[in-house]
Structure 1
């Protein structure tokens, strides 16, 4: 029983870290795909706000 609780806490902690990292990347304007934008078919949808400026 204790092991299950500890493992659940570890898993939820890791998920929380990933979510925080993704939130910070999105807030700073970075892409979430992890690859370069040259040749990307979704470039206009990822950087739509930057193109309007």
Structure 2
């Protein structure tokens, strides 16, 4: 078991860092969604979903 860990430690570290980065991105997106922020860049006048993604004001 320890020999396998020693042989693959660099792969395990890289995978852990990537998983952490993805988790932080998901957390950021969920936080923005809960705050009502949109992921679009505004400019809804020319969007095919104009008036659909943002609630009626």
The two structures have a TM-score, normalised by structure 1, of 0.75
Q: How many residues align?
A: 49
Of Structure 1 and Structure 2, which has the larger fraction of its residues in helix?
1
Higher relative contact order (CA 8 A, sep 6+): 1
Structure 1: segments with no counterpart, 5+ residues: none
Hey, which bits of structure 1, 4+ residues long, moved more than 4 A? none
Supply the RMSD in Å over aligned alpha carbons.
Answer: 1.5
Q: Radius of gyration: which is bigger?
A: 2
Structure 2: segments with no counterpart, 5+ residues: 1-7
